[in-house]
Amino acid sequence: MDLIAGIINLDHEQDLLEELTYFRCGAAVPFAGRYRMIDFTISNMTNSRIESVAVFARRKYRSLMDHMEQGKSWDLDRKRGGLFILPPDWNDPTDLSRGDLQHFHNNIDFIRRTLADYIVVSGSQNICSIDYRDVLESHKESGADVTVVYKKVEELQPEHNLAHKLTIDDSGRVMAIHNDHQSNNVYMDMYIIERDYLNQLVENCIAHGCSHLFLDGIKGRLPDIHINAYEHEGSHALINSVESYYRNSRKLLNESEHDELFKEEFPVFTKVKNEAPSQYAYSSNVTNTLVANGCTLEGHVEDSILFRGVKIGKGAVIKNSIIMQRCEIEENAVLENVILDKDCSISSGRTLIGAPEKPFVVAKRKTM
């Protein structure tokens, strides 16, 4: 079996989720009731038997480090390899690198020392369930220098504006990478590459003053470089705005969408909180809702997502909302089209209503 190592490159991910990314990076945003965005990327790696993962963090990584600890929850507390969270604190006076190449340059030992022959480089904004061993197989068959993963979307959504698209020939070879809104082959910000080739690419990019490994080193070398395209089938969500976060979160209330992301043989791992099962009172009325553990529910909840430890008081009405960890909604409060970040409390009788296409977002620890 070929060994694969993983790099989760958060360097150029922008924090565009408004209140949700004021204090944390996009990768650390809570998602689907009990996870954070990065859990999906790391779990894909763990499930693909990747045992060595580096996270290139640049900004607002406090909550990310708190969440990941030693990587135990993803089975990445390994003697050899394991999880490396690598924030920027670089003190090499001869360092000429710029952009995300700073990360590759200063952490080149991760690439040089790993026993793996291949490296998957991925961002954290594309939520999916993917086996990188299949990507590797396609990569090896194609004989390509790099294999990129893409999703053929039925209809482009606003969040896809920011994503690159691919023009692919019949053999599956990438002819162009661009931002043309006519194309629906959305690049999922993940590629697989041979370790030695990546090492060369990094050195070469730095020597030529590049600042973005993928754009300058890979996209910029077309057509000389052979890029193979791997199509991801199954559910996919690109989350880079509050609107895409809200819409894609609520998509999980659909059973088949949910099942494509949460497969029994491909579990999604996250930090364990040891919460008790959720408690539904006589007065509760909960329908079409995802509920994490540790909740105490006494009110009415529909078409919503409740994270761990949420309390909903008697007579409260929650519709089309996402309520994050440990929020307390007191009696008779009304929330519709609202996203509450962690630790918010809504006092009794309050009403908060957002627009269906633009939810009202309340920042962490707010009391209203």
Partner 1 sequence: MKNKECVAMLLAGGQGTRLKSLTKKIAKPAVYFGGKYRIIDFPLSNCTNSGIDTVGVLTQYEPLILNNYIGIGSSWDLDRSFGGVSVLPPYMQAEGGGWYSGTANAIYRNIEFLDQYNPEHVLILSGDHIYKMDYNHMLEYHIAAEADATISVIEVPWSEASRFGIMNTNDEGRITEFDEKPEFPLSNLASMGVYIFKWDVLKRYLMEDEEKEGSSHDFGKDIIPALLNDRKKLNAYTFDGYWKDVGTVDSLWEANMDLLKEEPGLNLSDNKWRIYSKNPNQPAQYIAPCATVRNALINEGCRIYGTVDTSVIFYGVHAAQGSVIKDSVIMPNVKIGKNVKIHRAIISEGSVIEDNSVVGDSSPDSQITLVAEEGSVMASSYATIIK
Which residues of this protein are in contact with partner 1, per CB under 8 A?
Answer: 32-34, 72, 253, 255, 258, 262, 267-269, 272, 274-282, 284-294, 296, 302, 305-306
Minimum distance of partner 1 from residue 4's CB (angstroms): 22
Residue number, 203 or 302, with CB nearest to partner 1: 302
Give me the residue label for tokens 């944390």.
24
DSSP class per residue in 93-141: TT----TTHHHHHHTHHHHHH-S-SEEEEE-SSEEE---HHHHHHHHHH
Q: Least distance from C-beta 74 to partner 1, angstroms? A: 10
Nearer to partner 1, 302 or 343 (CB): 302
Q: Which residues contact 182 (CB under 8 A, 6 or more apart)?
A: none
Sheet of 345-346: strands edge to edge?
296-297, 311-312, 328-329, 345-346
In angstroms, give the least distance from the CB of 285 to partner 1.
8
Torsion of CA 359, 364, 367, 368, to 10 degrees: -10
By beta-carbon proximity to partner 1, the closer residue of 217 and 299 is 299
Nearer to partner 1, 181 or 273 (CB): 273
Q: Taking the complex as a whole, how short is the minimal distance between the CB of residue 239 and partner 1, in angstroms?
A: 17
- The angle subtended at Cα 207 by Cα 202 and Cα 208, nearest 5°, is 100
Q: CA geometry: angle at 152 spanning 146 and 158, to 5°?
A: 110
Indicate the residue among 64 and 322 with the shorter CB distance to partner 1. 322
CB of 326 to partner 1, least distance (A): 10
Which amino acid belongs to residue 299?
A: G
